[in-house]
Chain A
Amino acid sequence: MASSGSVKGFFRQRKNITKPKPKSSSSSSKKSPHHPATFGADVAQPAALISHGSPDLKDGYDEHEDVLRQFDMNMAYGPCLGMSRLARWERAHSLGLDPPKDVEGLLRSGKVRLDCLWDGRV
C-alpha cells in the first residue's frame, strides 16, 4: 500500500495559522518562539517576535515548507531524521526512487529550511 500520494490523510493536519490572523493584543499572549526546538516548550508568556514591524506568526511555515514536510514524511524515501533534506533527496535519487524534482529545486534555492521537520525537536 504505502503512501504513493500525499500523507495528509495519515497525520493530523497542522492548523494553518496563516488564515485567521488575530489582530488584537490578545494575539501577543501566546506567540510561538522562532526556534523550532522550543516549540511547545513551557515558556510562560514569551515576548512577541516582531519582525519587520509585524508579529512573526508563521514560524517559517509556508506552502514551500509544506511541500518539504510532505517529502520528509513520505516513507518511500526512508527515514528523515538525522539527515539534511538535500542529502536525503540525493540518496533517494541515487537509489533510483525518483524523488520529485520541485523539491530539489526548493532545497537548492536556499530559502527554505534545509533540515528535516523533526531536526532538533526529537
Chain B
Amino acid sequence: MESMDIDPENHLQRKQSLYNSMDEKFEIQKEMYRGQQYSQIYFARLHMMRTLLYSLVPNWKPHLPVCTVLGLEEGKECIIVGTLYKQMKLKPSILDEYSKERSATPLVKPHNFMHPDDHLVLEDESGRVKLGGTMITPSVFVTGVVVALHGKETSAGYFLVQDVLDAGLPPQTELPLISGEDKYVVFVSGLSIGSSTCNPLQFQLLVDHITGHLGDEEEQGIAAKIVHVVIAGNSVEIPHGLLNGQNLASKDQSRLSEPIKELDILLTQVAAGLPLDIMPGPNDPANFALPQQPLNRCLFPGSSAYNTFRSCSNPHSFELDNISFLGTSGQNIDDLEKYSEAKDKLAFMERTLRWRHLAPTAPNTLGCYPFTDRDPFLIESCPHVYFAGNQEKYETRLLKGSEGQLVRLICIPKFCETGVAVVVSSCIFSACSKFLGLRTVLVNLKMKTPPTELQNRDLAHVYMHAHLCVYVYMCVCPYSS
C-alpha cells in the first residue's frame, strides 16, 4: 500500500499573480439620480469621441474642412462628426406593450430586427442629416456609434457619404515580458445553476480540475498554474414561474434561493483555492441596467468569507501581472447581433473595439444608467484580452491594430449547454522569438477515439470521467511560440 503522507518536495504550489481591479468607473453608488434623461450620456459620449475624431481627421483627410451638421452646404465636400442613429422599421416599440395584451411571455422574441429599408442618420447638437450612398452600409452600424464622415450634401437633402472614419483601436500599453512561466486564467460563463437543463456534475468536474483534485501529477501541475478564475455572468437561473408578482408560499421561497445556495457551495470550493471573480449577467439577481453592479456578498455567505472571492461589476476590467483584461457577460454583443449583422460574434467584438465603445446600443436598446458627466463604456486603453460571456460557442481571434496593438478576442460559451470553459495562458514572449497565432497544446488526451472535429481545433484537455465530458480549450494570450 502506498503511503498517503504528503511529500514536501513534491508538494505542488499554485502560482500567484498580481491582481489590479479597474472597475471604479462602473460603480454607480456615488451617482445621484436627479431626473435626468439619456441626452446627458449621449452628449458626454459625443463630446469625448468628437474630440478624439477631430484629432484623427488631419491624418485622414487633411485638406477637407470640418463642419457641423447645420453648417452643411449643398455640394460642398466636408467632414462631419456625429452620433449615428439607425432608423429601423422592425425595431420593437414600447407602444406595442399598450396595444397588445399582457402575458407572461415577453412580447418581443429576440431575433434580428434588420430590414432592407433601414437607413442611417447622423446627429450632433445642431441637427441631423440622413445618410445615403453605398459607402456606408446600415447593416454594419448601430445607433450610438460616433463616426466621422466625408461626403457632401446633395440637392435631395441627404448627405452622400464617400468615406467613413471610426476611431480605431485605442492605444495599448506594452505587454510586459513574462519570465517564462506559464500562468493560466480560467473563464467560464452561463453556469445556469438551477436550470432544468444544467448538469451539476459538469461544473463540479471543472471545480475539481481547477482545485487540483483531479488527475495525476501532470494534470495537477497544469491545475497549479491556474492563477485566476472569472465567471462571466448567468451563474444562476431562478425559476421564472415564481417571479410573476404573486405572494410566494414558503416552499416556493426556498425554491427561489436554492440555486444561489448551490452556487455558493461550489464557489466556496473554488475560492478556498484561488482568486475568483464573479460577474453578474442578464439572468442573475443584480440590477438590469448596465453597468450591472456586483452581486451582493450576502448571497454568498460561504465564499465571501474568503478574501479570494471578488464580486465584480459587469463590464469587468482588471489587470493580472500587468496584462489587461476587459469583458462583459455578453449583453453588449447579443444586442449588437439583434440590430446589425456580422460574420461572427468576434466581428461584433472587433467593431466595439474599433468604435472604442463597449456597448454602443446602450441606452437605445440596452438598459443603461443615465450618467450625466461621463460615459463609462468608452474604451480608453486597449485591453490585451477582450472577452464576452454567454455566447453560443467558443471562438477566438487575435486582432491587430494599426499601431501595433494586439488583442486576443474570446467568446466564452455557455457552460450549461456546451460544457466548455476557456483557459487563457499568459505565456507570450519567449526571449528569442515571437509568433502570432494560436498554440495548439495537446496535453493528456484521455479519450480513446477523439472526435475528428476536435482534432482540428486547438484542443488541450479532454477528460472522460464517468461518461461526462468537460472540454477545456487553451488559447494563448496573445501570442504563441
Contacts and interface: CB of A to CB of B under 8 A. Distances in A.
Interface of A: 1-2, 75-76, 78-79, 81-84, 87, 90-91, 94-97
A44 to B, nearest CB: 30
A8 B372 CA distance: 26
Interface stretch (B38-46, B312-320, B355-363, B417-425): B38-46
Given A82-B40, A84-B34, A91-B372, A75 B51 contact: no
A81 B126 contact: no
B187 to A, nearest CB: 35
A90 B370 CA distance: 17
Contacts of B35: 82
B322 interface: no
B252 interface: no
Interface residues of B, number: 19
Interface of B: 34-37, 39-40, 43-44, 47-48, 51, 68, 70-71, 125-126, 370, 372-373
A78 B34 contact: no
Contacts of A79: 37, 39-40, 43
Nearest to A115: B34
Given A1-B71, A81-B37, A83-B372, A91 B125 contact: no
Given A82-B34, A87-B373, 16 more contacts: A2-B70, A2-B125, A75-B125, A76-B125, A78-B44, A78-B47, A79-B37, A79-B39, A79-B43, A81-B37, A82-B35, A82-B39, A83-B34, A83-B40, A94-B373, A95-B47
Given A79-B43, A82-B36, A87 B48 contact: no
A1 B125 contact: no
B370 to A, nearest CB: 8
A91 B70 contact: no
Contacts of B39: 78-79, 81-82
B126 A78 contact: no
Contacts of B372: 82-83, 87, 91
Given A1-B70, A95-B48, A81 B125 contact: no
Nearest to A75: B125
B40 A2 contact: no
A78 B71 contact: no
